[in-house]
């Protein structure tokens, strides 16, 4: 399966980052799971430049700008030059800081223009009895892919991350395998409408939100997802090691 780590801003020192990178390389060889490390931007250059190892690197975001006089922005071109091959886009924590659907769409275009594979995060704030949360997911997917070519649409990874499930623990029983299976099916149905031919069958769909060593196996079994986007549990060496091994 694919395990994408989102270190967020949990990892702030070089020694911890180095340990997590080394452990991840070992784990990917040992378990054959594909591991992508979403590190804070400064660490990409330190670890990913000319990377030929068993792990890949992702940026946690890219700028919607194309460079130039935009102080402080980290562009897709710079992220790609530093050695990342993936980028998260539209994470709920970025959306909460102002990324609208339109901005998310621009960022997708920037990433694809520099051959970064986008991991597009979508997810509802809360569940309601009328199924309006399904419309939220449809809107997020549709507006994000709208301006892209058919070919570009086939290159995107989707991470389903319901906001109500982020930042809790496995003990909170955040989402059940059945609910997750239903959402994976729904996302694939929407993608089938947006992608050319039968190509949506090949889209990688991840789940994220309080995935920990204690629930990863149950969530993987029969839920129809292709992997996970892991937040807090990916920023701790012991927890991440157990989590990856528990999936095997």
Q: At closest approach, how far in Å is the CB of 150 from ligand PGA?
A: 28
Catalytic residue among 91, 124, 140, 232: 91
State the DSSP string of 82-129: HT--EEEES-HHHHTTT--HHHHHHHHHHHHHTTPEEEEEE--SS--T
Q: At closest approach, how far in Å is the CB of 85 from ligand PGA?
A: 19
Binding site for ligand PGA (CB under 6 A): 6, 161, 166-167, 208-211, 229-233
Residue 208 or 227 with smaller CB distance to ligand PGA:
208
Catalytic residue among 124, 140, 161, 212: 161
Are the C-beta atoms of residues 30 and 38 closer than 8 Å to each other?
A: no
Backbone angles phi, psi at 121, to 5 degrees: -95, 130
Q: Is the dihedral of CA 165, 157, 25, 244 positive or negative?
A: positive
Are the C-beta atoms of residues 107 and 75 closer than 8 Å to each other?
A: no
Which residues pair with residue 89 across a beta bridge?
A: 120
Residue 114 annotated as catalytic: no
Q: Where do we find the tokens 């029969």?
A: 222
Give the pair of three-digit tokens for residue 34: 């594909």
Residue 40 or 152 with smaller CB distance to ligand PGA:
40
**Nearest residue to ligand PGA, using CB?**
231
Q: At closest approach, how far in Å is the CB of 232 from ligand PGA?
A: 4
- 218 membership: H or E segment, kind and range: helix 216-220
Per the document, the length of the chain is 248
Distance CA 47, CA 102 (A): 32
Q: At closest approach, how far in Å is the CB of 92 from ligand PGA?
A: 7
Q: Which of 139, 219, 217, 213 is nearest to 179 (CA)?
A: 219
Q: At closest approach, how far in Å is the CB of 75 from ligand PGA?
A: 22
Distance CA 42, CA 201 (A): 35
Residue 49 annotated as catalytic: no
Catalogue the E-assigned strands of the chain. Answer: 2-6, 34-38, 55-59, 86-89, 117-122, 157-160, 205-208, 227-230
Q: At closest approach, how far in Å is the CB of 70 from ligand PGA?
A: 26
Q: Which residues are tagged catalytic?
A: 91, 161
């Amino acid at each position: 399966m694919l395990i994408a780590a989102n270190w967020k801003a949990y990892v702030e020192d070089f020694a911890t980052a180095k340990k997590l990178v080394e452990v991840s390389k070992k784990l990917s060889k040992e378990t054959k799971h594909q591991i992508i490390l979403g590190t804070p931007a400064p660490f990409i250059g330190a670890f990913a430049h000319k990377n030929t190892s068993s792990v890949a690197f992702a940026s946690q975001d890219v700028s919607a700008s194309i460079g130039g006089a935009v102080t402080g922005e980290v562009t897709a071109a710079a992220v790609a030059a530093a050695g990342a091959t993936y980028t998260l886009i539209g994470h709920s924590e970025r959306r909460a800081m102002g990324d609208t659907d339109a901005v998310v769409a621009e960022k997708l275009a920037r990433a694809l223009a520099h051959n970064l594979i986008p991991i597009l995060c979508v997810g509802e704030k809360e569940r309601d009895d009328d199924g309006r949360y399904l419309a939220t997911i449809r809107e997020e997917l549709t507006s994000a892919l709208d301006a892209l070519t058919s070919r570009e649409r086939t290159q995107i990874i989707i991470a389903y991350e319901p906001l109500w499930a982020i930042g809790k623990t496995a003990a909170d029983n955040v989402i059940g395998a059945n609910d997750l299976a239903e959402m994976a099916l729904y996302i694939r149905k929407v993608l089938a409408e947006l992608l050319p031919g039968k190509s949506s069958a090949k889209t990688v769909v991840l789940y994220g939100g309080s995935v920990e060593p204690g629930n990863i196996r149950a969530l993987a079994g029969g839920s129809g997802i292709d992997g996970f986007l892991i937040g807090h549990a990916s920023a701790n060496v012991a927890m991440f090691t157990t989590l990856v091994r528990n999936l095997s």
